């Protein structure tokens, strides 16, 4: 099955196979060496000198760690949401009993720095900015994140960012943009299996953790920091996925991060053009379309589930539907990770044939 999903994405054969190497002692020297290499290489991808920690969990675990280690009950938090994953971040903020101010945009719209500034001016007690970089549910990217983070920093906020589906597909410059906490997930742009989350943390973030009152155990990052100094993780790590990550990072480094991002931009543009040529409209606001996934509006009369079923059963290709209230209203074409222009051409061909097969004409 070809995966034109926004995650899990396709895994190159050598990365998949390396996961079957024999186990090593996760408290031994070999693991310590691997941990050091992984954490150095992740820093390159995140554009940071901050520590990057690897958690054995999916992306949501990384988001939970980002929230429970920093935000306490009654803290004032600005949550910017442009879709399903922004709403999930909001749920986590609510879970710890914080007081969120919510800046919510319609599906397909991206956040505007002026709105963020107004929201922060309206409530000088806000100490945290929480937002999604690439909103996978709507194929929309908050490209103003750098300006937004700078405004938040100037107001004394700690910035917590979900970059689960943007990292490696879109520029993310943690240090020069001043992002304090940034999370990604292995099954997205990293060309490997699901099961790991990566989280970078600034010194300000570590300071905030010391006074954060929210209970945490498995995701206690101070424990993770202590363990990293010994080249370990506090709990048993998914060692097989660490092997996969090592090879994935080697590949990303040898291609060069700028080239990786340029490849994603080219693939995304090709996907958008092909979709428009088929007569469809995109959900994302012009200029804010995602490099990782294209969300396509389903016109009147298009049965999205029939389209996805046909693509899967007749053409062995998986596309994604809409999530939550977007169900039946959009479908999504994923183009991140191990993806080439040829894959995009193939995906467009499958879409064309599947539409024909279900008898839909635009
Ligand atoms: C932007 C974004 N945030 C968070 C998540 C959640 O990640 P996971 O499903 O790995 O828990 C996803 C996964 O689709 C995502 O795209």
* 28 CA to centre of ligand 1 in angstroms: 32
Residues 111 and 30 in one domain: yes
pLDDT of residue 167: 98
Ligand 1 binding pocket includes 58 (Cβ within 6 Å): yes
Separation of alpha carbons 199 and 282, rounded Å: 31
**Residues 53 and 141 placed together within one structural domain of the fold:** yes
Whether residue 85 has its Cβ less than 6 Å from ligand 1: yes
| Boundary-marking domain end, from 254, 270, 294 | 254
> Same structural domain for residues 248 and 261?
no
Query: Are 215 and 69 found together in one domain?
Result: yes
For residues 62 and 199, the answer to whether their CB atoms sit within 8 Å is yes
Which of the listed residues 208, 237, 254 is the one where a domain comes to its end?
254
Q: Is 172 left (phi over 0), alpha (psi -120 to 50) or beta?
A: beta
Q: What's the 55 CA to ligand 1 centre distance in angstroms?
A: 14
Determine contact, residues 348/271, Cβ cutoff 8 Å: yes
Number of other CB atoms surrounding residue 217 within 10 Å:
9
Separation of 61 CA from ligand 1 center, angstroms?
9
Residue 353, pLDDT > 90, answer yes
Domain count, the chain: 2
Residue 261: give the domain boundaries.
2-6+257-357
Q: Which atom of ligand 1 is nearest to the CA of 62?
A: 11
Provide, rounded to the nearest whole percent, the portion of the chain with pLDDT above 90: 100
Coil, helix or strand at residue 116:
helix
Give me the sign of the Cα torsion angle 328, 294, 82, 181: positive
Helices (H) and strands (E) in the chain, counts: 13, 14
What tokens were used for 181?
């906490």
- Shared-domain flag, residues 304 and 320: yes
CB of 152 shorter than 6 A to ligand 1: no
Last-in-domain residue among 220, 235, 254: 254
59-89, pLDDT tens digit by residue? 999 999 999 999 999 999 999 999 999 999 9
CA of residue 114 to ligand 1 center, whole Å? 27
Cβ 319 vs Cβ 333: under 8 Å: yes
Distance of CA 58 to the CA centre of its chain: 11
Does residue 362 lie in a domain region?
no
Is residue 59 domain-shared with residue 200, that is, in the same domain? Answer: yes
The pLDDT-based confidence of 303 (bands split at 50, 70, 90) is very high
Which atom of ligand 1 has the smallest separation from the CA of 197? 10
Rg of the Cα trace of the chain? 20
**CB 136 near ligand 1, within 6 Å:** yes
Check pocket membership of 166 for ligand 1, CB cut-off 6 A. no
Atom number in ligand 1 closest to CA 60? 11
Determine contact, residues 165/136, Cβ cutoff 8 Å. Answer: yes
Site to substitute for ligand 1 among 165, 168, 238, 320, most atoms within 8 A of C-beta: 165
Question: What b/e readout covers 120-143, taking b as 16+ CB neighbours within 10 angstroms?
Answer: beeeeebbbbbbbbbbbbbbbbbb
Average the pLDDT over 109-119 and give the result.
98
Helices 145-154 and 113-122: crossing angle in degrees, nearest 10, is: 20
CATH classification of the domain holding 72: 3.40.640.10
Q: pLDDT at residue 362 above 90?
A: no
Atom of ligand 1 nearest to the CA of 166: 1
At 252, is the pLDDT very low, low, confident or very high (cuts 50, 70, 90)? very high
Q: Decide if 43 is inside a domain.
A: yes
The string of pLDDT tens digits covering residues 116-152 is 999 999 999 999 999 999 999 999 999 999 999 999 9
Q: Determine if ligand 1 sits within 6 Å of the CB of residue 185.
A: yes
- Residue 2 pLDDT more than 90? yes
> CATH number for the domain including 329?
3.90.1150.10
Q: Is 7 in the pocket of ligand 1 (CB under 6 A)?
A: yes
Query: Cα(30) to centroid of ligand 1, in Å?
Result: 31
Measured CA to CA, the distance from residue 161 to residue 182 in angstroms comes to 5
Of all atoms in ligand 1, which is nearest to the CA of residue 61? 11
Distance 359 CA to ligand 1 centre (A): 33
Residue 186 Cβ inside 6 Å of ligand 1? The answer reads no
**Average pLDDT value over all residues in the chain:** 98
Q: Do 249 and 315 fall into the same domain? A: no
The answer to whether residue 307 sits within a structural domain is yes
Q: What is the pLDDT of residues 253-292, one digit of tens each?
A: 999 999 999 999 999 999 999 999 999 999 999 999 999 9
Q: Please give the Cα distance from 273 to 38 (Å, whole number).
A: 37
Residue 164 CB–ligand 1 contact under 6 Å: yes
- Please indicate, yes or no, whether residues 205 and 183 belong to a single structural domain of this protein: yes
Helices (H), 212-300: 221-228, 239-255, 257-277
CA–CA gap between residue 284 and residue 106 (Å, rounded): 10
User: What percentage of the chain exceeds 70 in pLDDT?
Assistant: 100
Q: Are the C-beta atoms of 314 and 354 separated by less than 8 Å? A: yes
pLDDT tens-place string over residues 166-223: 999 999 999 999 999 999 999 999 999 999 999 999 999 999 999 999 999 999 999 9
pLDDT surpasses 90 at 29:
yes
360 class by beta-carbon count within 10 Å (0-12 exposed, 13-18 middle, 19+ buried): middle
Asked whether residue 202 falls in the same domain as residue 340, the answer is no
């Amino acid at each position: 099955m070809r995966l034109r999903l926004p995650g899990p994405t396709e895994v190159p054969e050598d990365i998949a196979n390396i996961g079957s190497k024999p186990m090593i002692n996760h408290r031994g020297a070999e693991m310590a060496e691997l941990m050091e290499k992984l954490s150095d290489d992740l820093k390159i991808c995140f554009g940071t000198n901050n520590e990057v920690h690897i958690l054995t969990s999916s992306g949501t675990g990384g988001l939970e760690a980002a929230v429970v280690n920093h935000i306490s009950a009654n803290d004032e938090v600005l949550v910017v949401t442009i879709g399903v994953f922004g709403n999930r971040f909001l749920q986590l903020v609510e879970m710890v009993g914080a007081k969120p101010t919510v800046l919510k945009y319609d599906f397909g719209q991206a956040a505007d720095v002026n709105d963020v500034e107004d929201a922060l001016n309206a409530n000088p007690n806000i100490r945290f900015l929480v937002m999604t970089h690439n909103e996978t549910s709507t194929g929309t990217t908050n490209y103003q994140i750098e300006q937004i983070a700078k405004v938040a920093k100037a107001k004394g906020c700690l910035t917590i960012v979900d970059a689960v589906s943007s990292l490696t597909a879109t520029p993310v410059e943690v240090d020069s943009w001043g992002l304090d906490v940034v999370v990604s997930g292995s099954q997205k742009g990293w060309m490997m299996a699901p099961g790991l989350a990566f989280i970078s943390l600034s010194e300000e973030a570590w300071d905030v953790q010391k006074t954060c009152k929210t209970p945490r155990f498995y995701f206690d990052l101070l424990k993770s920091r202590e363990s990293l100094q010994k080249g370990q993780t506090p709990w048993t790590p998914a060692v097989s996925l660490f092997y996969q990550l090592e090879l994935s990072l080697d590949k990303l480094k040898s291609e060069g991060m700028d080239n990786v991002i340029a490849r994603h931009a080219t693939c995304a543009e090709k996907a958008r053009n092909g979709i428009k040529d088929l007569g469809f409209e995109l959900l994302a606001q012009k200029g804010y379309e995602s490099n990782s996934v294209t969300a396509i509006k389903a016109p009147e009369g298009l049965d999205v589930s029939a389209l996805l079923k046909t693509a899967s059963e007749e053409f062995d290709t998986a596309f994604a539907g809409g999530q939550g209230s977007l169900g039946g209203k959009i479908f999504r074409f994923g183009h991140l990770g191990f993806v080439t222009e040829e894959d995009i051409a193939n995906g467009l061909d499958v879409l064309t044939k599947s539409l024909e097969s279900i008898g839909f004409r635009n």
